Structure 1
Amino acid sequence: MKSITLVRHGKSSWEFSVSDALRPLKNRGVKDAKLVADQYNRFSELPKMIYSSPAVRAFSTCKIFLEAFNLTEDSVSVKDDLYDFGGESVVNFIKKLPNDYDSVMLFGHNHAFTSIANIFGDKFIDNLPTSGLVKLNFEIYDWYDLKKGTTEFIIIPKDLKK
């Protein structure tokens, strides 16, 4: 069995005149990512491998999770394939994952992550919001055989603020 945890980057700031890849997180993005990371940490095992998009907002979100997991930046691999908004590059990346990793966590972007969650999970998500997380499980032994699986859980920051 394999599992993928998709984490959309936290809310980013448009306050600075920088390229898309260099946009930083807003304070709300930092707070929401901490809430989600803490919630995930309470009831799920750490993934065997963590990958992040190189975009500042995605890698910054990843670092918040690493802190919650008591891991260092050496625990994450930054991959250009995850700086994808449509999802095709992310799916191709997943299909090429080493099979000795049964569980992975990916930090990236929408619309890619909402699309992947809907194509491969069994619960429809209208939109995975910023700092949103979805965990998908698959009855496969080889990542290349990626097919429809089940949605184990979804964590939305708004739901944690009630």
Structure 2
Amino acid sequence: MKTLYIVRHAKSSWEYEGVKDIDRPLKKRGITDAYLISSVLQKKVSCPDVFISSCANRALHTGMIFSYTFNYPLANLKISKSLYSFSDGYLIKTVKALDDGFDSAIIFSHDHGISSFVNKFGSKHVNHVPTCGVIAIKFETNHWKNIKSGETFLTEFPKHYK
């Protein structure tokens, strides 16, 4: 059995002119939401075996907050340039390439790819994964490369707690 947690980065700021998209920071609401949802998740599930984040500042900062909440060593947070994509192709490749020694993984990335991925591989349709939304899917396989359809067993969105 493999378990995947997919997290859309928290709310980012558009207020800085001249900042490249990849460098956009989280806004205050995003930081608050990341602490909120990571605390909710930490009370419901065991710490994932591996944390992987897009290299974008907003995704990486979200991943750092979740790492802190789960007491996951920040030095072990993996950064993936290929996750800085808005299609599900790189997300699928990243998941299927995970080491089979990891039974669970948490990935911090971007929409459009996240919504497409969870609807392609999960058992529940999600119209739109909001910022700092988490979707968890269990796969009945021992090998990440063999994932097909799985069971969506958790959806956590900030609006559920406000």
TM-score range, shorter chain: over 0.9
Corresponding residue for residue 75 of structure 1:
76
The aligned counterpart of 1:114 is: 115
Tell me by how many angstroms 1:71 deviates: 2.5
In the alignment, the residues of structure 1 paired with residue 111 and residue 125 of structure 2 have an alpha-carbon distance, to the nearest angstrom, of 15
**TM-fit CA distance, 1:37:** 0.2
TM-score, with normalisation over the residues of structure 2?
Answer: 0.97
Q: Taking every aligned residue pair, what percent have the same amino acid on both sides?
A: 37
CA distance in 1, matches of 2:157, 2:146: 29
1:75 to partner: Cα distance? 2.3
Q: Read off the aligned partner of 1:38 and give its amino acid letter.
A: S
SS class of match (2:154) = strand
- Say how many residue pairs are matched: 161
List structure 1 segments (4+ residues) > 6 angstroms apart after TM superposition.
none
TM-score, with length taken from structure 1: 0.97
- Deviation of 1:81 after TM superposition, in Å, equals 1.7
**For residues 125 and 71 of structure 2, what CA distance do their matches in structure 1 show?**
32
What residue number does 1:127 align with? 128
Answering whether residue 18 of structure 2 is matched by residue 25 of structure 1, we say no
Correspondence 1:11 to 2:4: no
Instruction: Show the counterpart of 1:91.
Output: 92
Gaps of 5+ in 1: none
Distance 1:56 1:46 in 2: 23
1:72 Cα deviation (Å)?
Answer: 2.9
SS of aligned partner of 1:91 = helix
- The one-character-per-residue Cα deviations of 1:60-100 (angstroms, maximum 9, x if unpaired) are 00111111112331121001121110110110111111111
2:68 touches 2:74 (CA, 8 Å); kept in 1? Answer: no
Q: Is the deviation greater in 72-81 or in 100-109? A: 72-81
> Any stretches of 5+ residues in structure 2 without a counterpart?
none
Superposed CA RMSD: 0.8
